[in-house]
Amino acid sequence: MSFTFEMSSSLHALPDVVWAHASTMDGVNAELAPFVRMSVPSHVRGLRLDDAPRGEEAFVSSLLAFGVLPFDRHHLTLVSVSERGFVEESWSLLQRRWRHERSIEPTSDGCIVTDRLEVEPRFVPDVLVRPLVRALFEARHRELRRRFGAPSRVASEAA
């Protein structure tokens, strides 16, 4: 059974500044810390999403709980990358399908970052996976608001 999840945060930063952070694996790992870290193969270190291949597996990453304990292997594929956003359609040992869309839209005082996820767990019931994904993205958005400043957050979830 799959589920969808969406979360948005208003940030007091220019969209291009937030994109520069969000479009690198260093930025992704800064958002995920301290709960998860994604390994980055040496041949793609420093790669920006803007330069990553589309429609084919860009790389395989180990997911490390608290930065040290391997718990999954993530096969990352970018479907598209826009000026300030991406669509990732990936899979892992634990997730049959992981579709992550991120958009960064300008506002009058900064930008809004929106993450949309469609997740289809492979072995664990979605009722157990959903709160973990939600908590991880709440932490990611807390880090974005801490890093860039923010007045508010809006979250929604659909079945």
Number of domains in the chain: 1
Mean pLDDT, the chain, integer: 93
Q: What is the mean pLDDT of residues 111-116?
A: 98
- Judged against a pLDDT cut of 60, whether residue 101 lies above it is answered with yes
Provide the 8-state DSSP code for 154: E
- Judged against a pLDDT cut of 90, whether residue 151 lies above it is answered with no
Find tokens 């040290």 and name the residue: 68
One-letter amino acid for residue 145 of the chain: R
> Which range of residues forms the domain containing residue 121?
3-158
**Angle formed by the axes of helices 25-32 and 126-148, nearest 10°:** 110
pLDDT, residue 158, reads 53
pLDDT, residue 46, reads 87
pLDDT, residue 50, reads 87
CB atoms within 10 A of CB 2: 16
Find tokens 């007045």 and name the residue: 151
pLDDT, residue 67, reads 96
Looking at residue 27, which CATH number applies to its domain?
Answer: 3.30.530.20
Q: In this predicted model, what pLDDT tens digit does every residue of 26-69 receive, in sequence order?
A: 999 999 999 999 999 998 888 888 889 999 999 999 999 999 99
